[in-house]
Structure formats: structure tokens, C-alpha cells
Chains A and B, each alone.
Chain A
């Protein structure tokens, strides 16, 4: 039989137990709440991060460029500091570390962290270390320190590290624990590779109960070459000194950049930007004074990828390529070998009957010039003629941006996608841009907007166009190999192809030969290269002198090719306010080419002033 009253009896007991349990929970959560609160706080695990050693950086020949070394550091466990022992510890630190000022010591004890580093133990003798560690609140952990072994040499390409801001802490998950993050250059671009996972000190109450070792970051091997880089810097500095001696510039000529690019692979073998700085200053924290001083000199700009300069005549290769591909030559010429007569100026009429005269840099004219001669002597008239032809044929139609399209194929006004942060893209102006500027920057454009004259300016690399030295170097490289792929500095970077271009096999041969003529007799860079004797036959390049607005001196350009028969390197050199390209930039490049070819180095000497 089933007895229901026994069920009731059982459940009354169950209800009683429930009430007892509820009473227990009530006392836990309400009556005893405050008394256990402290116990809970002590229970709570707290973590303190110990920075992980950052990956080291090696050059292409395995020379260590950036090192990370571990240093024994004394820490204080601030959770164990109370009013009673505060004085003792202060005395102890003051006595043993005379390098620390009273203010430093106050800062240590005012920290909100659980652990606070006091000082390196490197120079403390062992018995004192042992004595110190007998104090309950003192601990030792290893802290990595980063050293840029060649200080200024790679300040822009490798970059530097610093204390992460809130944004960086969000973007890079280990930045907060490492208390360090790549701020610029490869240090920033490869932050996730270089940064390790920070170690953890785990506290329960004031006790350290666990320590998890940091995981070091991965090393990086770069395409740069320390020897080459140092030669390039030397040459650029010599060139700057030379320019300062020869020009009466209002401001000191001190800015310039050089990029040495491996033509076949796209490896950046040297990248120099001046003025530079010592990235080691950032490791220990740079003073406000030093920072402002360097910042005023624009030392933090990597002009190789951030300097925006009108390219001047080095841009003429774009028109050179266009002329051959589209078969567009000056009015009296039907092929690249047909000559026109350059009289030193070009005058042409407009529909409204007005006439305009453009004057070449060589007032007496270059005489009879074909495509090769016009590149060799950097004759503007020849290229203006091409621009006029494009304008007359396509002006005000969809096809009028032919030259701009060719420029973009070569990477102008586009990212080269080099593995460095903050790359700038520059400008290749066209009608559309001028229309936009009418609204946003009316001081830069005329009311009529884009005109034939603007195209004529563009074809010789003047006017609104701006480019970076790396873009220029990569554009030449693109014309030689037929493919626009991104340059890179990490030897193991994934190679990015930006776009393929359409060139014939003969084209690069023509181009190289014609570039070769520039450094030979009669070419604009002959004087700068003549010291090399017969070697010069195999070398090529293109000079450029770009006018700047206002009182600014011209920008000096040279793009060099180390060998016409077996081109291996392209060297782009720019000296801001350096004047004529053939006078300043060309001899700098010459010295770099001498090194690349394993020849005797001769000093940078002032070349011929052309353009």
C-alpha cells in the first residue's frame, strides 16, 4: 500500500533541510559578508607581467644589428609593504642603490603595481645580492633590454620601440605585458613576430604563488647589408657637405635619402634617410629636449618612403615607355630613332590664337635629338612635344590621362607595399584631382582647371606630381623586369605582386642602353662618373633636377643602374634642396655603385650643373 502521509512526512524533513541550507547561505552572503570580504580579496589572483625578450634582428649576411640581452633586476613586492616596514625598505634601497634619487625611491613606493622594478643587479656583488634577497619583499626577475648595435645606421628602416599607448595596447595583445611596442620601421611592421609573450607573476594576496616564463619573440633577418648601408650613409653625408659648400642655400642642406634595390628580387639592400637619430635613445626614454630638436630637423621622417618630391627628369622614363608602347613621338618624328631639332624653346598656339613659349633648361638647345638623345641630354623640348601630341590627340576626352595611367602602372601615386609602416603615396595629378583641389585647395590650381601646360609639366616630372625615392627606384625596376612587385626588407616576407606591365624583351634592352648613355660622354651625368674610366661604359642612370615652389632650392635626383649588361641594383638618390641632379645626387650614387661593383671608392666630387 502507498502511504501518502509518509510522503508528506519525508517532504517536511526535506523542507527543513532546505531551510537550514538557506539559513546557511543567508549567513554567508549577508551576515558574514563583510568579514569574509577581506578573505576574498586575499584569495583573488593578481597578475604582474614580466616583459618577454624581443626577437633579434640580423642583416642579410647574418650580422647582428639589434640585440636583446637579459638583465637581473631587483623588484619590490609592494603588496608586502606596510607602514611598519616602509621605512626599513626605503633605507635599504637608498643605502644599496646610491644612483637612485629620493624622488625615484618615492616613485617606486607610490606605484599602483604589485611589483615594481628597483634597479639592475648587474653591478651588485653576489654577497650583497644574497643579503638583499633575504628581505621578504624583494624579488629578482630577468628583464630584457634592447640595444641597437649600429645606433644611427638603421634608425629609419629598423625603427625603434617605445612604451605602448592605449591604441597600441588594443592592437597588439602582448604590448601591455611587454611594456614595449614597435613604434616605427620594421620594429612596428613586424611587431607580432618580434614581440614575445610576456611572463606572468601570479599573486595570491601578497604572496607570489606562481611564475610563468615569458616566451621570447622570433628573430628577424633583413635584406639590408650593414657594410653597404654604412657606405651609403657616408656617401650621402659627403654629398650633403659638398652641396652646402657649393650652394648658397638659406637653410642648411641636410635632408636626403638613398634606396638600393635588388632588381631581380625587390630586396631593399640599403635604405638611408638623413638626418637620422639614435634609436637607443628611445630604449631608455628620450628627453623632451632631444625629441623636439630631432623632430624640428625632421629626423623621424624616413624620406625614402615618406619624403614627397617632384621627380623632375627621372620621371621621363615614363614618357619614354609610353612613346615606344603607344608609338607617340614628336610631330616631325615617326619612330624613336627619328630626330627633331631642339632650339632651346617650344612655342605653340592655342585655339584662341594666343601663343605660349616653353624654354628648355639649355637655352641654346640640344640640336638634333631622338628619343635616346633626349633622355641622355635630358632634353625637355622633345618630351613636351610628346605631351602636346597626347594633348592634341586626347585632350578633354576619356583618353587624356594616358600618361597618368602609365605612371600608375609603374606604381606612382600608389603604395609600393614595402613592409614598413606609414608609407606615403604621393600624387600624380590629373583633371579629376584639379577639380577636387578647386574646392579643397583653391590656392594650388587655376580657375580653368587642368590644361595642356599641366600635362607638359607632368611629363618632365614637374608641377603637382610628388613621388618617394622608393617609388622611383621601384618604377625603374618595374621597367627592367616587366613586373611591379613590392620591395621588402624582411628576408622571409611573402612577395606581393602589385601588377604586371606590358613590355617587349627589346624594350628593357633599349632602355638600359639609353640609360647607359646618360653616364657616358655627352650625357648629363658624365662628369660625375668620368672618374671611373672605362667602367662607366657598363653603368647607367638618369639625372633629375626638380624645381620647387618658393625660394626652395631644386631637388637633386639620380637613379643609377649598377650594370647595363647584367643589371643587379637600382639606386635612387635624392637630396632635398641639393640643386642639380648631375652635380650632387649623381656623384653620391657613383660612390655607392663603386662599392657595389667592388671598385676602389673615390670621394664624392661635385659634378656638372645641368638642367
Chain B
């Protein structure tokens, strides 16, 4: 492995485009949150400053991740998946917060922060699955570990994130020589599994409600979020003093942040944001094509699939196309765990750009 000198923008050879893109996404999030806060008072309960603190930590972690080579990630992946399973299992033993076992509260050590393990589990699962698919691991043990991981998330219960995991895993499987028929069979098995869970009442009532609500009537927050998006019009309300156009959207700063973004920056802003992401995906796809390392190809595909599918699920939720899921928009939604896990994903991408000597 090449030893790289440390420069102001990370290790020598850091890809300027990725750094720029990463910071830009963070700043867009700040601007979006800026319009939702009432005062510029610097407190930990102020959403904007909270996010700026998370972003700052995220940027640090982005650079730190860059120092880990793709090889090391591959070697450590088995260890990662074990840590992920232990942490997720530990969660089930904690006191539920708002009825679910989804977060570790860091209040005990004096931080007003809740750690969402499944956000980090994303990275571990991708890293390990890429390892299995590139043929290094025992497939039976490997897939069982991944299945356990997903089931533990499902039991939290967190239907949205489990669905995200299943989609990403299936998509990554699809990239191997697997036949369509097999993918179809696996999907069928999972659907049957889902109904078994349903039958044995292992799902929370509110999740069933969400799904039934979706098919029977429109969900309030989704209805509101559509109105909020609509109120943005072509150019958004960012620079207009329109007090009257204030549509109330529940949890707008986290899962529904896109409705706030679209309201502030309108269709123009939306097109710009989409272009930035599509261009980013396109760049990563080029690397996947160029790389000679099979593990790296799988890892990057996993990372980019995770990010894109997350965005798709988030957007379709915000637009009321699918039921409520609780999946945040990467680097746009308010939330420490989400920002930091996205920072790690970007760090991994940056690393592979470095290893492939793509500087700009």
C-alpha cells in the first residue's frame, strides 16, 4: 500500500470533485434548515447548529475514512458484520425510545444524541456482502449473517430500513452471474417470510396501520408534504416574504426535508439537486467500470446502490407514492447518524478514486 502524505484536503491524491460534491451537499442541507429555524441563537436544540456540528464531524470522518484502503475494508469486513450484529442485538435489550428499539441514547455520557445503529449497519452489510460476492467467504455462513442482520433490524421494528437492506442486497446479488429465476425465487421467499411475520404478530401495530392507511386513505403528512412541495412553484419561496404559504409538515426537518427543500428552491432547485446526484452516480459508475479489483467493484456498486435506493425511497415517500418508511435523504436530512454514515460512504468512494489515481 502506498503511504500518502497528508494535505489540507485530505491525503495526497484526494479527489477534488468528490470533496467538493460532499461539502456542497452538506451546505445545501444547511441552507434548507436555515429557512425552518426561528432564531440564530447558538444552542444544541437549534436544528441548524445541530446539523452544522454533525456536518463538521462528518467532514472529519470523511477524511479519516480516506486513510483506510479498500483492501483493509475487505479484510475487516467479517469483523464489521459481527460488530453490527452484536450492536443490533444489544439494541433489543435496551429501553424502547418512542416505542421502538432503534437508538442507543448517549445521554448517559452527557451528549444529547441518539445513535441509530442501522445507519452504520448499512456500511458493514455492504462491505461484507461485497466480500462474499467476490468469493472469499463461505457463502452459507455469509448469507446467514446478513439475513440475521436484516432480521434484527426488522425486529426493532424498522420496516423501512429492512426493506432498504433487502432491496440493496437483491440488487447486489443481481450483479453476479445469478439467474433472473433465482432472484425471483429469493424475492418470493422473502415475501412469504414477511407474511409469516405478519401472521405471528411480530410487526408493530403502527406499521400495519401505516400500510393499511396507505391503501385506504391518504396519509396526513404525505398529503401535507405534497402541498408543501407544490407551494415552492418554479423558483421557490426562499427569497420571498410569503408568510401565508406555510404548510405544516410533520417531522419536516428529518425524513420530509425534501418537501422543505422543494418549497424553498422550487423546481429549479430540485433539478439542480437531482443533476448533482445523477452526475455523482455517473462518476462512480465510471470507476466501477475502470477498476480491476472485483471486491472494489462490488463494494462501490453496493455503496452507490445504497445511496440511490435511499434517495428513491425517500422521494417516493415524500411524494406519497409509497407508504411511510422513515428513510432519510442522505446528507440532506437532519440527523447525526445519517450524516456520519453518509460521510463514511463518501469517504470510501473518495478512497477508491485515489486508488485509481483519479484526481479531479
Contact = CB atoms under 8 A, between A and B. Distances in A.
A14 interface: yes
B37 interface: no
B289 A1 contact: no
Interface in A33-69: 33, 36-37, 39-41, 43-45
B285 interface: yes
Interface string A292-306: 000000000000000
Interface stretch (B9-17, B26-34, B109-117, B242-250): B242-250
A11 B244 contact: no
Interface string B255-298: 00000001000110011001000100100010011000010011
A4 B230 CA distance: 38
A546 B289 CA distance: 103
A182 to B, nearest CB: 27
Interface of B: 133-134, 171, 174-177, 224, 226-227, 229-234, 244-248, 262, 266-267, 270-271, 274, 278, 281, 285, 288-289, 294, 297-298, 301, 305, 308-309, 312, 315-316, 319, 321
A41 B308 contact: no
Nearest to A28: B230
Nearest to B232: A29
B12 to A, nearest CB: 29
A73 to B, nearest CB: 27
A40 B230 contact: yes
Given A2-B133, A11-B308, A14-B308, 19 more contacts: A2-B301, A3-B176, A7-B175, A10-B174, A14-B309, A21-B319, A22-B271, A25-B262, A28-B229, A30-B267, A33-B230, A36-B231, A40-B245, A41-B244, A43-B247, A44-B244, A44-B246, A44-B247, A45-B248
A400 B324 CA distance: 85
B301 A7 contact: yes
A497 interface: no
B257 to A, nearest CB: 15
Contacts of A40: 227, 230-231, 245, 247
A21 B316 contact: yes
Interface string A56-94: 000000000000000000000000000000000000000
Given A24-B321, A30-B234, A44 B267 contact: no
B318 to A, nearest CB: 9
Given A2-B175, A4-B289, A6-B175, A24 B274 contact: no
B229 A29 contact: yes
Nearest to A33: B233
State the 9 A-B residue pairs at the shortest beta-carbon distance, nearest first: A28-B230, A36-B230, A29-B267, A2-B297, A21-B315, A43-B247, A6-B175, A40-B231, A14-B308
A8 B297 CA distance: 13
A324 interface: no
Given A24-B321, A25-B262, A32-B230, A18 B244 contact: no
Contacts of B175: 2-3, 6-7, 10
Contacts of A28: 226, 229-230, 319
A28 B294 CA distance: 43
A251 B233 CA distance: 72
A37 B171 CA distance: 40
The size class of the interface chain A forms with chain B is: 20 to 34
A17 B312 contact: yes
Nearest to B277: A18
22 contacts: A1-B176, A1-B177, A2-B297, A3-B177, A4-B289, A7-B175, A7-B301, A11-B281, A14-B309, A18-B274, A18-B278, A22-B271, A24-B321, A25-B262, A28-B226, A28-B319, A33-B233, A36-B230, A40-B227, A41-B244, A45-B246, A45-B248
A486 to B, nearest CB: 34
B157 to A, nearest CB: 26
A211 interface: no
Interface string A12-24: 0011011001101
Nearest to A2: B297
Given A7-B288, A7-B301, A10-B305, A2 B244 contact: no
Contacts, number: 99
A15 B281 CA distance: 10
A44 B245 contact: yes
A25 B285 contact: no
B182 to A, nearest CB: 13
A45 B133 CA distance: 54
A43 B231 CA distance: 11
A2 to B, nearest CB: 5
Contacts of B274: 18, 22
A26 interface: yes
B294 to A, nearest CB: 6
B309 to A, nearest CB: 8
A32 B234 CA distance: 11
B220 to A, nearest CB: 11
Contact of A36 (B227, B246, B266, B289): B227
Contacts of A21: 312, 315-316, 319, 321
A307 B297 CA distance: 90
Contacts of A11: 281, 285, 308
B294 A2 contact: yes
A345 B246 CA distance: 83
A14 B311 CA distance: 10
Contacts of B248: 43, 45
Contact of B285 (A1, A3, A7, A30): A7
Contacts of A4: 288-289, 297
B245 A26 contact: no
Given A21-B319, A25-B319, A43 B224 contact: yes
A357 B267 CA distance: 93
Contact of A25 (B171, B267, B312): B267
Interface string A187-205: 0000000000000000000
A182 B305 CA distance: 64
A18 B233 contact: no
A43 B259 CA distance: 15
A402 B59 CA distance: 69
B227 A43 contact: yes
A10 B246 CA distance: 38
B271 to A, nearest CB: 7
A47 B278 CA distance: 43
B26 to A, nearest CB: 22
A392 B319 CA distance: 93
B356 to A, nearest CB: 15
Contacts of B278: 15, 18
A509 to B, nearest CB: 57
A41 B242 CA distance: 11
B129 to A, nearest CB: 13
B245 A14 contact: no
Nearest to B266: A29
